[in-house]
Chains A and B, each alone.
Chain A
Amino acid sequence: MTISHNLALKDDITMHTDPKTASSKQARLQLSGVSKRFGGLQAIDQVTLDLEPGIVTTLVGPNGAGKTTLFNTITGHIKPDSGSILWKGKSIVGMAPWKIARLGIARTFQDLRLFTHMSVQENVLAAMETRSWLWQSGGHAAQKIRDEKVAHTLDITGLADMAQEKANNLSYAERKFLSLARTLVSGADLWLLDEPASGLDPPSYDLFLKLLRDQVNRGVTVCIIEHNLDIVVGISDKIAFLDQGRLIANGDPREVLENPELVAIYFGERKL
């Protein structure tokens, strides 16, 4: 599938869904002048970027461009040296990762980091049980609601038949969907997905796209790191291009991907 074909397909999808009508204006993440240096390496350099509700923004750039570091900075795993990060209008810089997560910011990892020795069902349940101490409140009634939610999530992610299987025993695509199921069930308004679609076969990719679009239409804000340009054009409403920690382009996928200078950087042929 060519890039242009994919662009046409994407237009087709967005025509039906029109993210702006479904977006709640609330779930907006605003990065302003965010920088992070590791020793001699400027990992992120003055990045200013808005992640808008109902919009899929894809972070593109060569390896080492700072994409995952940017995710880590948003989620509190790394504290930026300077700059501000506002989530729903409030600063989240310096907050512990678990507190940021509880504000509705979920992320997946490139290496998935599933709870490998727990069952599929337990993985999803654990993603819901963030605030429990020794036990969950609400008794049997609440438990029933949680069970139903887990069952529904497993159903729509195609994992219902593997509910009792250990995460360790799943296939690659199933693991990716389990990672997505955990994000889905967490009820987050901002999804930061690190290469969620890489390595998926066409039917799995279609299911992934459907799941993602459903959530985007509900006003979820999505930011994706992706290397495969076919996938990038299939998914993105906006593309943010990072190189050596700097955001060098941000906007319409067509404009960004048809810019020969950016393409040259992406394929390692030239630096700006």
Chain B
Amino acid sequence: MIAYLLNLGVFFCVNAILAVTLNLIIGYAGIFTMAHAVFFGIGAYTASFVAIHFTSSLLVVTLVAMLAGGALSFIVALPALRVRDEYFVAASLGVQMLGVTIFSEWKSFTGGLGGVLNIPLPTIFGYEISSPVEFFILALSGLVLVVVISRSLARGSFGRNLMAVRDSESAALALGKNVAAIKTLAIVLSSSLAAIAGTIYAYYLSFINVQSFTVDTSVLIMAMVIIGGAGTIYGPIVGAATLMLLPSALSYLWFLPPTEIGSIQQIIYGLAMVLLMIYRPGGMVSSGGKDAR
């Protein structure tokens, strides 16, 4: 049971990191990207490549993964500077498709469809992290780090700049805000922080393949942000917890036939999403419907 909970805990932390980082772009900057899983993937593949070929040092691997995520985020930043709203959603879906194709085809780096196997265990100053408890502490530390960074950014002038751009780009420009730089910086930061989730994920499973980085993951993370509360500090964490724990909770309901749990889960997801958007469009952590976007 403890092992099960620790396993769930690690996956929750990974997803919560992705939701918190996506919230910086969706909730604060108002850029609805459907390609966040690509940066999760870039983080995971880069981390596994560096870990296998160069060093198992967690700090070095994480840093390289973050640099890769940040550097490659221009593929989302470029369309975000050109188009808005539904046009950007379409462009970001293109980025997601492109990402999945490269992950599937670039065999020397990603292992193709088969993925990357035997990723070595991470070490911190020579100490090897191997037990489930240690991995949970690592994942939780990653989440805390990302939340602390996002929180301080969102509550300060950077957060206000993002929200200003989100609420009225033309007014932000007229007040002297370099909108293009603000958007780019938000995307670079969010993508490089998302790579932390990729690193933890790759190390924990010691095996990754493209299945974890598809559009389904992007949609799931976006759902976590919206259900929890876009543009709030803790909403995405609540959203991640809800969407991670619900399937587990359902599996404990003895009266549900195990073969049907999958479909029941989908029905509950769908219903919850519709009801939430009707009664609490700002998400679970919000001041209610009045201020919702």
Contacts and interface: CB of A to CB of B under 8 A. Distances in A.
Contacts of B240: none
Given A117-B293, A135-B157, A136-B157, A98 B164 contact: no
B84 interface: no
Interface stretch (A1-9, A11-19, A38-46, A123-131): A123-131
Interface stretch (B51-59, B127-135, B174-182): B174-182
Nearest to B160: A126
Given A117-B293, A118-B160, A125-B160, A75 B185 contact: no
Contacts, number: 94
B100 to A, nearest CB: 32
**Contact residues of A: prevailing secondary structure:** loop
Contacts of B293: 117
B167 interface: yes
Interface in B169-225: 170-179, 185
Interface in A106-155: 106-107, 109, 113-118, 122, 125-127, 129-136
A138 to B, nearest CB: 11
Contacts of B170: 77, 109, 113
Nearest to A116: B167
Interface in B128-179: 152-153, 156-158, 160-161, 163-164, 166-168, 170-179
B260 interface: no
A132 B174 contact: no
Count class of interface residues, chain B: 20 to 34
Contact of B167 (A97, A102, A114, A169): A114
Interface string B45-77: 000000000000000000000000000000000
A130 B178 CA distance: 8
B231 to A, nearest CB: 7
A115 B163 contact: yes
A101 B160 contact: no
A67 interface: no
B160 A129 contact: yes
Count class of interface residues, chain A: 20 to 34
A186 interface: yes
Contact of A107 (B174, B185, B231, B291): B174
Contact of A101 (B156, B164, B176): B176
A130 B175 contact: yes
Interface in A133-186: 133-136, 166, 168-169, 182, 186
Interface of A: 75, 77, 96-99, 101-102, 106-107, 109, 113-118, 122, 125-127, 129-136, 166, 168-169, 182, 186
